[in-house]
Structure 1
Amino acid sequence: MNLADELRTAAAKIRVLAGQATETPWTTHWNAQEYELIGPSRPYPIAQWTYAVATWEPKASEQRAECDTADADYIAAMHPLVGLALADWLDETARNSEPFGQITTFAVEMARTINGGQP
């Protein structure tokens, strides 16, 4: 497989995964002791994390501020529309490289990471 094909393969994989995912954009919010990842039209959370926090204010807000919600916040920021933009970039990079035969190392590394490793 040549480098442009690696980029196209990664773009196709991202498009399939994004197409199967919940409608976007995603957001996070607190619901009692649950930190939830939600989509705009889904009646229940995409994912949720349970924390041992108080259920009454102001103690609940104080304890929530100390919770590590970084993974959920990252997942929300990297929703499928971001994936589709990445797929477009990979395809465009592959298309533009063909006349010149050059692809940046970054694009190849990105594609190989998505594809699961070396070609």
Structure 2
Amino acid sequence: MTPADELRAAAAKIRDLTAEATGAPWATSWSEQQYEVKSPSGIDPIAEWTYAIATWEPEASEQRAECDTADADWIATMHPGVGTALARWLENTATSLTASTHPGWQDLIAADALAVARAVLGTPDQT
């Protein structure tokens, strides 16, 4: 598989995943003991984490401040809009790579894009 093929495969995988995902952007918020990732409609959470915290104020706010919400915040930041832009970048980078007789030149030109593509595809990064 050429570097351009890897970039296109990763872009296709991301596009497939974002096509099925709930609309973007996403945000996080508290709802009693649940920390939720929500879509713009905010009707149903996309994902939620339940914490053993008080349900009354001010104890609830104090305990929420101590909760590890990093995973939920990360998920909300990497919503389908980010995936769509990432897929477009990978595809554009693949398109810019043209045939050459110099072995390995694509790996050097598109090292960052290839690292992302390989992470998406779950293949070892060779850069």
TM over 0.5: yes
Residue in structure 1 matched with residue 29 of structure 2 by the alignment: 29
Structure 1: 5+ residue stretches without partners: none
Query: d(CA) in 2 for partners of 1:20 and 1:2?
Result: 28
Residue in structure 2 matched with residue 65 of structure 1 by the alignment: 65
Deviation digits for residues 2-35 of structure 1 (CA, Å, limit 9, x no counterpart): 1101101100110010010001110010000000
TM (norm. structure 1) is 0.92
- Residue identity (%): 59
Structure 2: 5+ residue stretches without partners: none
Query: d(CA) in 1 for partners of 2:61 and 2:43?
Result: 25
Q: How much does 1:41 deviate?
A: 2.5
Query: d(CA) in 2 for partners of 1:70 and 1:3?
Result: 33
Query: d(CA) in 2 for partners of 1:64 and 1:37?
Result: 15
- For the aligned residue pairs, the C-alpha RMSD in angstroms reads 1.7
Report 1:14-25 matches (<5 A). Answer: 14-25=14-25
Residue in structure 2 matched with residue 5 of structure 1 by the alignment: 5
Residue in structure 2 matched with residue 117 of structure 1 by the alignment: 123
Residue in structure 1 matched with residue 113 of structure 2 by the alignment: 107
Deviation digits for residues 65-115 of structure 1 (CA, Å, limit 9, x no counterpart): 000000000000000100111101101111112166633222112111111
Query: d(CA) in 1 for partners of 2:42 and 2:11?
Result: 26
Stretch deviating more after TM superposition (91-100 or 34-43): 91-100
Amino acid at match of 1:116: G
SS in 1 for 2:35: strand
Report 1:43-58 matches (<5 A). Answer: 43-58=43-58
Larger RCO, structures 1/2 (Cα 8 Å, 6+ apart):
1
TM (norm. structure 2) is 0.87
Deviation digits for residues 37-67 of structure 1 (CA, Å, limit 9, x no counterpart): 1112353111100001111111110000000
